[in-house]
Structure formats: C-alpha cells, structure tokens
Structure 1
Amino acid sequence: MRAFTAMLLPLLLTASAAAQEVEITDNPIAEIVQPDDAETEIGGGMASYYGNELAGNRTASGERFDPGQLTAAHRSLPFGSLVRVTNTLNGDSVVVRINDRGPFTHGRVIDVSTAAAREIGMHRSGTARVKLALLSND
C-alpha cells in the first residue's frame, strides 16, 4: 500500500496543480504601461492572492473578479491605480490594476489575482514578500 501511495501522490499533485491553472484572459495593462512611466516606491510587505473560488464576485469597485486579469486589492490606493509588485525572493514583477479593497489579514499589504501571483512565482506558496511601486505616466 505504501508503494502505491508513493506512486500515486505525484500524480495527484500534478492533477491538482493543473486544475488550478489560470490563463491570463485579456491584458489591457500591457497596452497602458510604457517603459518611460515614472515609478514611486510605496513600500512593501507580505502579499497574498485571491483564490479562484472568488471568481465572479463583485469587487469594491463594482466590477466582477476575474482570476485571469492582472488586478489587486489594496487598502487605500485609488481604484484604477497601476502598481508594480515585485517578489523580493526572485525579482519577478508584474503590473496590476487596483480594483478592490483589502487585504483584511494582519500583516498583508496587497492581495493580487491568481494570474498576477503566477507571474511573480507566488502561486504555490500563497504568500510572498514584495516591494510595491506606484506607476504614473506624467
């Protein structure tokens, strides 16, 4: 039985990961962000991400949550703000659009969508230490 379990476990983990795959649907942010956009560091801390179970729910901005969009929740930034989120562990970054309020867990500074979590390599761990930079195209 132990040998069977050892053989079956990797298959289950692979199937579970495949079931959680999210395809980035439409990325209008890529069309907005320009290389010469100014960035203002606004701190950092721990980030987490929204699970797929919240897909379709209304965000605080009124739009429906889509795990395939590059969006995020922040406590105070205005809706529509573009923020570069950089995983300090691996240096990967993604630009997200703020469309919700949160996170409401102590010690967290931002909740990103599933697609954004994949982009910066935090989809397996669930959390990551990040740096945040507000983008402006002045």
Structure 2
Amino acid sequence: MSIIVSIMLFFGSIKPTEALPGLIQKGKASFYSKKFNGRKTAYGERVSSDALEGAHRSFPHNTLVEVTNLTNNRSVIVRINDRGPFARGRVIDLTHAAARAIGMVSQGVATVSLRVVGKGRAFVAMTPSPFDIPANYQPQLEPVL
C-alpha cells in the first residue's frame, strides 16, 4: 500500500514540461499540404493555411517560436498548435502562410533554427457576453414603494 502511495506522490509532483524562452533548435522544416486545411489539429483547432502556426513534437501548446530560414535569414513567429511533424528528420511543420513568410514555399523543405520567444494565449471563439457592452453593466433599478 505504501508503495502505491509513494508512486502517486512522485507522479503527482511532476510538473508538465515548459519550453524555456531562448531555447534554440536547428533542423529541417516543411509545411502543411493544402489537403490539411480545415482539418483538426491534435489540440482540436482547425488548420488554417492563412494563420502563422506550426506543429512541433515536444513544445507545449501555444508556445511562440521564432522560425528563421538559415538560407535567407528571414524569420517569422509562429504559435505551436499541433503535434508533429511525423516525417523523419524534420523539426517543425508550418502553415502555408508561415512558410511563405520565410521564403521556403518553392523549396518545400528548408533548414531552419527555432527559438522559443514565449507563451501565447489560446484563441477561443466565443459569442460576446451581454456584459461586454458597458451600458449593460448599469443596474436595472426599480422604485421601491
């Protein structure tokens, strides 16, 4: 019984890994095929070829990463919102917009460096609350008789 409690306490104290700002990784980058546009990512978001997003095997969701094409030194900051790439030898998959921003669309694969710049925020599509409008904060008073 004490072994089970010890194991539970050990695994309960482990915190999820976070990408350290400034961490640099080098390797090959590719970009999503157009057939993935609109499909769900590993985190349930939809892939948009117009967004500056990417997939990484180990960086946490919403990590902001500066991707620099080492051939032409063009950079873009992308938000990690998927897991991958699953092709051997690749470190990141980018959306078409991010690949276009660093000038790698014609090559298909580019040698890049990745630098973690921070943690982004989750983008959630919500309907506006009635309390988003300041006039709705006003209490509705009724006369007391």
TM-score normalised per structure 2: 0.66
User: How many aligned residue pairs are there?
Assistant: 100
Larger Rg: 2
2-side partners of 1:80 and 1:43: how far apart?
17
- List runs of 5+ in structure 2 lacking aligned partners: 1-19, 120-145
Deviation at 1:52, TM superposition (A): 1.4
* Percent of residue pairs bearing the same amino acid type: 50
2:65 to 67, 83, 91: 83
- List runs of 5+ in structure 1 lacking aligned partners: 1-37
Deviation at 1:41, TM superposition (A): 3.3
Q: Look up the match of 1:119.
A: 101
SS in 2 for 1:86: strand
2-side partners of 1:116 and 1:47: how far apart?
11
SS in 2 for 1:91: coil
Q: Is the CA contact 2:65–2:118 (under 8 Å) kept in the aligned structure 1?
A: no
Q: Look up the match of 1:92.
A: 74
Q: Deviations over 1:41-83 (max 9, x none)?
A: 3211000000211111000010000000000000010110000
Computed over aligned residues only, the root mean square deviation of the Cα atoms, in angstroms, reads 1.4
Q: What letter matches 1:87 in structure 2?
A: N
Q: Deviations over 1:72-100 (max 9, x none)?
A: 00001011000000000000000000000
2:54 to 72, 82, 86: 72
Q: Look up the match of 2:23.
A: 41
Q: Look up the match of 1:12.
A: none
Moved >3 Å (runs of 4+): none
Deviation at 1:39, TM superposition (A): 5.0
TM-score normalised per structure 1: 0.70
